[in-house]
Amino acid sequence: MTQTTRQTLVMGNWKLNGNKAMVAQLITALQAPATQHPNVAVAVCPPVLFLGQAQALLTDSPIALGAQDVDIHDQGAFTGENSAHMYTEFGVQYVLVGHSERRTLHGESDAMVAAKFRAAQDAGLTPVLCIGETLAQFEAGETQAVVERQLHEVIAHCGIESFANAVIAYEPVWAIGTGKTATPEIAQGVHAAIRAFLANLDAKVADGVQILYGGSVKGSSAAGLFAMADIDGALVGGAALQADEFAAIISAG
């Protein structure tokens, strides 16, 4: 089978950072690099409170908007939550589900993550399913078993065909915010194993799905990662808050 050409996707996860001035500065500064690299899809995920401001700044921009989390419900008595349908009113295209900080700090189970994945898709959003192992699991050689378990729950809940409209972000927990990036070879090995796992169920879906790497990606490490056959972009935390670093990652795509 001929291999699909998958577009590189560079997505910034701003986490709990920013204010109105910073949102304006950062988005304004990213317009030129995003426009100059039309081959690279670029997205930013600001905190929910700034989605409206970001949407206005991104009018006629190639930069897409993402959200960092979503509730499993559409509406109702769920204080503090935000639904996928609400995001659609703000021009949101992507939503992160299962980020390790949600899994760890908010106790999100694989089943909860799968329900969020479905809620996002039901509203027409593209879920970005974050998966990855802890340092202890990495050292115990359990990486593949962990990511397969995390994928399995979504496949069981939503079907393999759901990955035709989804993105996967492989983010080893030991590399997130630590300054330790998995080497391109280590990351490629896991990405290839993820794709092979999906290909056992549906080769076409596996070939088409974008698998991003996340974990301390910087301008200096992006090109090496992106050169790998199964690494289709990056989910970026810390470096996404610095316009020049994020622009360098875009340029590497």
For the bound state, the minimum distance from the C-beta of residue 214 to ligand PEP, rounded and expressed in Å, comes to 4
Instruction: Assess 249 for contact with ligand PEP (CB under 6 A).
Output: no
**Whether residue 101 lies in the annotated active site:** no
Nearer to ligand PEP, 176 or 205 (CB): 176
Residue carrying structure tokens 């290839």: 192
Name 13's bridge partners: 45
Nearer to ligand PEP, 96 or 206 (CB): 96
Instruction: Assess 235 for contact with ligand PEP (CB under 6 A).
Output: yes
Q: Candidates 121-129, 139-147, 212-220, 242-250 — which segment interacts with ligand PEP by CB under 6 A? A: 212-220
Report which of 26, 234, 209, 191 is spatially closest to residue 126, judged by C-alpha positions: 209
d(CA 31, CA 34): 5
What is the contact mask toward ligand PEP in residues 5 to 34, using x (rule: CB under 6 A)?
--------x---------------------
d(CA 87, CA 243): 25
**Coil, helix or strand for 135?**
helix
Report which of 228, 151, 149 is spatially closest to residue 183, judged by C-alpha positions: 228
d(CA 132, CA 108): 14
Instruction: Assess 162 for contact with ligand PEP (CB under 6 A).
Output: no
For the bound state, the minimum distance from the C-beta of residue 237 to ligand PEP, rounded and expressed in Å, comes to 2
d(CA 63, CA 49): 18
Marked catalytic residue, from 108, 133, 153, 171: 171
Nearest 5°: phi and psi at 249?
-65, -40
CB 166 within 8 A of CB 209: yes
Nearer to ligand PEP, 57 or 173 (CB): 173
Instruction: Assess 214 for contact with ligand PEP (CB under 6 A).
Output: yes
Among 115, 154, 176, 182, binds ligand PEP (CB under 6 A): 176
Instruction: Assess 217 for contact with ligand PEP (CB under 6 A).
Output: yes
Query: Which H helix or E strand runs over 208?
Result: helix 203-208
Instruction: Assess 237 for contact with ligand PEP (CB under 6 A).
Output: yes
**Whether residue 99 lies in the annotated active site:** yes
Instruction: Assess 177 for contact with ligand PEP (CB under 6 A).
Output: yes
Residues classed as catalytic: 99, 171
